[in-house]
Amino acid sequence: MLEPEELLETTDIDIGTEGFTLILFNDSYHDFEEVTNQVMKATGYNYERAEAITMEAHNKGRAEVMKGELKKCLQAQAILEEINLKTSIEVNV
């Protein structure tokens, strides 16, 4: 599997822009506290904001965790995925 840096070399994406969104998907394997704590760890958000993201993912099937530079989204994504949370990064258009 290619590393994120290798993937970037094959695209025309400007990694310095703020044009990315990290998405968290709902799953039935983790409890609310576990997900909320991992969102806090990944983002530095306070409990209330992390809990709101967790609830949105649960209720709507997905939630925006953060928007920003690709590097920051990738770093937060790696932390979320430490406990096998399902995520994606979308390019903002």
Q: Provide the pLDDT for residue 17.
A: 59
What are the pLDDT digits (tens) for 53-78? 999 999 999 999 999 999 999 999 99
The pTM assigned to this predicted structure is 0.81
Segments making up each domain of the chain, as ranges: 31-93
What is the sign of the dihedral through the CA atoms of 32, 33, 37 and 43?
positive
Strands 20-25 and 62-68 come out as antiparallel
What are the pLDDT digits (tens) for 28-59? 999 999 999 999 999 999 999 999 999 999 99
